Structure 1
Amino acid sequence: MLKGQPRATSPRPAISPAPGASEVFQLLRDGQPRTRAELAQLTGLARSSVASRVDTLMGLGLVAPYGGAASTGGRPPSLFALNPGARAVVAADIGATHARAILADLSGRELAEERQALTIGDGPDAVLGWLAGTVGTLLARGGLPASELAAIGIGLPGPVEHRTGRPINPPIMPGWDRFDVPARVQESYDVPVLVDNDVNIMALGERSFHWPGTTELMFVKVATGIGAGIISGGSLQRGAQGTAGDLGHVRVAYGGEVVCRCGNTGCLEALAGGPALVAALNERTGGTLTSSQDVIELVRSGDAGAVQVIRQAGRDIGDVLAACVNLINPSVIVIGGSLAQAGEHLLAGIREVVYQRSLPLATEHLRIVPSVAGDRAGVTGAAVLAIDHVLSPESIEAACAALTTG
């Protein structure tokens, strides 16, 4: 993210776009200002080729002059950097009973925010209708015309076929199965619409802004359900059909015949998900707890029974994560979701089993930590999803080609 902003520039005359400008642009995406000479050295291109590519990127508005570099004699060389204000994206994190949407620039800096209590079970027309209206509100609050909107990123609380943006058999989203989410949103805004499940975008958000140098990371969401976003080799791993990381329906060895909502027995979610913990405490005490938040409040008050239940949930989750550690060898496991608010009791149970049952080499430098982004991980990740699309080599090359025909 830039520490300063590139200088504003006056409109430039029409230019002849240079092919391969995306190669130069990817070096400027990090916001670090560089000279043409530095770019030539990094790419191996001739300075004249770099100059033509920089001119193309400036014509698109994606790159702008940035101050001036120190002179070694003669005229100081010019610096260039990403212009984060060139376009904007909207990011939405839609949960079971809430939604949060933000307007962000191309560096991910938030420009405006809207929150709303809503029910995902009301169906796609109602929820996406709210989103379409909210996009307009955010643009107005940010003082931007709709033409400045480059993409929309959306996180949903269920399995999503990322290629099409359609939810697939989502258990808590009646009416959403195979619904064409991008097409519905594009009725109002003709821009790319990227859709993914909530835990994947949480992994993107947590990693991009709090663990940027980490290439091997798992984000584990512990709430009503339990799932993981897996980043390996620096890239989000969705699997063949987008179901990678569905930890909640991995069978726990001692899960017995506890019935899960998926129809199988002994699933991790049926033992350690929010509703399971509520039921376990009510059975122990004859209580009338109704939500995960009730469990968290008991843990925070020091209730011994609640602490035991949360600690055991951590052990159950750790049992599944130990296998994941041996299989994919992450360097960081981030624990998020509503039940992560229970704090160190949950993490202690997870760490106890993971460090005991995983291979010593796999855990030698492994960190198991609470989420830093908290409830903002999802919307932050949705912004990353949209920005990564807008600034991808393919999108940059397409924009360059459009200059030729525009």
Structure 2
Amino acid sequence: MPDAQGATEVQGSAVPDAREATEVRDPAVPGARESTEARRPDSVRAHNTALVLGLLRTGRLVSRADLARETGLSLPTVMDIVERLCAQGLVRQAGSGTPAGGRPPRLYEFTPGSRMALGISIGTATTTALLTDLNATVLHEVREPSRLREGPEACVEQVTRLLDVLLARGAERQGTVIGIGLAVAAHLRDSEGRRLRPWDDPGLAPLDLRALVAERYGVPVDLDNYAKAVAVGEHRFGAARGHRHVLCVVLQDGVGAALITGGALHRGWDGAAGRFGATLVPGPDGERTTLDAVAGAAGIVARAARAMRAASGAADPGAGSSNGAGTSNTADPAGTSGAGSMSPSDPMSPSGARPVRSAASPSSLAEVCAAAEEGNPGAVLALREVGELLGDAVHNACMLADPEVVVLTGPTVVAAGDHLVGPTTRAVTGGGRRRVVTGALGERAGAIGAVALLLRNSFIDPLRVSTG
């Protein structure tokens, strides 16, 4: 183990994993590995434990009888689970309830600070690393310019260095780290082992970052695409918490999306689901183009420049471009739709500097949004048109997937605000019951999502019953 870990205990898994995984971990014996023969009984126990933890992590004080009633498990099973969780420190007794004719029932609560997790979002512009508790409460954060585009060696150096820093912080807290989640700005396929290929040089071999990190640190590691991580984070800890069917749309350099169905992430046939930016939509001149080219940052800037020049009576040098938006179909040149990171240093970050430029020559999304806030008609028109086109695409996706809530997130959503979100929402809801909300995790969405990837099968949240 790296020296930076200090006295931090790094443990195979103290939190149960409800998946039918290759390795099934015994939640009663942290780090233990069960044999193939014992896998099925242990998977049932892990699933039942995740049900109990899912109820406890809602913050309520509950008795064992309450847990049995709400999970449908037998009281002896719940008593065994609670006893094991208390022994691990994941749950503790928190007083007594009101008696119903006998002894007062013991009440229990979840203790998220009993363990820690590491999450890293590796974007095209920024890499963000977090040390959190089991409720994704941030204990320490490191953010710096991303080295992803520099090649595999630079990427590995940055990731391991940041992990060492976080582990050192964990050592100061004398805590136990249960695993590492990684969210990466790249398209990933299960058939390729989710290896990274985000480099322009075809001579560079794909990087198995998940295996490398797991071998170096000896803990469970989960890795997935940025948009999928954000969706799991918003579902587990953010704007879609408690819902079972969620469509999450991420707007930044390109457009990505991910679907939560029945409370689980939908990854598709080869793990590549979510390339929403490749959806074909009409361009301004009636031609077909991609959603990336229209609603990615570069496409919005190009459209706004045309509209602002038209509003000011200037000539349009972008007319006749290949996609009708004043730009070629390269809004996402690295092929990382739905992948990336938000940072104060990014030009489209809501917390970064937003230069005010109302002239008909915007060079960044921040300038377009600033002009719209000032009432520039061209900028307002461009954002509204993009919102309507995005809304049509999201509406079509909703007709296929039938989510109960749509989460719009990413730096473009934060920067453009209701100029874009309003038209999108109207196109999606159409006065119906489906809700459209903006993301709640902000600039940390990718890294918190990485933590959520790691923990997503450790807690099975109770169903939220819709009454509207």
What pairs up with 1:378-397 in 2 under 5 angstroms?
378-389=446-457
1:183 to 192, 211, 214: 211
* Structural RMSD (CA): 3.4
Cα 1:69/1:89, change in 2 over 3 Å: same
Cα 1:187/1:256, change in 2 over 3 Å: farther
1:171 & 1:309 partners in 2: Cα distance?
A: 32
Greater mean alpha carbon deviation, residues 241-250 or residues 35-44: 35-44
Q: Give the aligned residue type for 1:183.
A: A
Is 1:274 paired with 2:302? no
Partner of 1:245: 274
C-alpha deviation, 1:82, in angstroms = 2.9
1:243 & 1:177 partners in 2: Cα distance?
A: 20
What pairs up with 1:143-292 in 2 under 5 angstroms?
143=171, 148-161=176-189, 166-167=194-195, 169-170=197-198, 178-208=206-236, 209-254=238-283, 266-283=289-306, 284=309, 289-292=362-365
Contact preservation (8 Å) 1:68, 1:76: yes
Taking structure 1 as the reference length, what is the TM-score of the superposition? 0.78
Q: Give the aligned residue type for 1:379.
A: A
1:78 to 100, 106, 113: 106
What pairs up with 1:267-346 in 2 under 5 angstroms?
267-283=290-306, 284=309, 289-340=362-413, 341-346=415-420
Contact preservation (8 Å) 2:259, 2:265: yes
Taking structure 2 as the reference length, what is the TM-score of the superposition? 0.69
Structure 1: unaligned runs, 5 residues or longer: 1-13, 259-264, 393-406
Cα 1:135/1:374, change in 2 over 3 Å: same
Partner of 1:261: none
3-state DSSP class of the match of 1:151?
strand
Higher helix share: 1
Q: Give the aligned residue type for 2:393.
A: V
Cα 1:38/1:172, change in 2 over 3 Å: farther
C-alpha deviation, 1:163, in angstroms = 8.0
Contact preservation (8 Å) 1:139, 1:146: no
Q: Give the aligned residue type for 2:367.
A: D
C-alpha deviation, 1:214, in angstroms = 1.8
Per-residue CA distance 1:66-117 (angstroms, 9 max, x = gap): 2333345665443333332332111112211101111111222221111112
2:74 & 2:410 partners in 1: Cα distance?
A: 50
Ranked by relative contact order (alpha carbons within 8 Å, sequence separation 6 or more), the top structure is 2
Partner of 1:87: 115
1:28 & 1:307 partners in 2: Cα distance?
A: 47
1:176 & 1:33 partners in 2: Cα distance?
A: 53
Cα 1:165/1:292, change in 2 over 3 Å: farther
2:101 & 2:107 partners in 1: Cα distance?
A: 16
Partner of 1:399: none
In the alignment of these two chains, the number of paired residues is: 367
1:173 & 1:124 partners in 2: Cα distance?
A: 11
Would you identify which runs of 4 or more consecutive aligned residues in structure 1 move more than 6 Å? 171-177, 255-258
Partner of 1:5: none
C-alpha deviation, 1:297, in angstroms = 2.4
Cα 1:131/1:68, change in 2 over 3 Å: farther
3-state DSSP class of the match of 1:334?
strand
Partner of 1:115: 143
C-alpha deviation, 1:346, in angstroms = 0.9
3-state DSSP class of the match of 1:311?
helix
Partner of 2:54: 29
Contact preservation (8 Å) 2:50, 2:457: no
C-alpha deviation, 1:376, in angstroms = 2.5
3-state DSSP class of the match of 1:166?
coil
1:231 & 1:384 partners in 2: Cα distance?
A: 13
C-alpha deviation, 1:379, in angstroms = 2.0
Contact preservation (8 Å) 1:99, 1:115: yes
C-alpha deviation, 1:153, in angstroms = 0.9
1:43 & 1:371 partners in 2: Cα distance?
A: 29
Q: Give the aligned residue type for 1:215.
A: R
Per-residue CA distance 1:256-311 (angstroms, 9 max, x = gap): 697xxxxxx61121222211222334454666543322322222232221111111
C-alpha deviation, 1:180, in angstroms = 0.5
1:51 & 1:137 partners in 2: Cα distance?
A: 39
Per-residue CA distance 1:351-380 (angstroms, 9 max, x = gap): 45445xxxx7xx611222332322222222
Cα 1:70/1:368, change in 2 over 3 Å: closer
1:175 & 1:184 partners in 2: Cα distance?
A: 20
Cα 1:213/1:43, change in 2 over 3 Å: closer
3-state DSSP class of the match of 1:252?
strand
Per-residue CA distance 1:16-47 (angstroms, 9 max, x = gap): x9966431452133333433344444566665
1:133 & 1:382 partners in 2: Cα distance?
A: 17
Is 1:99 paired with 2:167? no
1:25 & 1:212 partners in 2: Cα distance?
A: 16
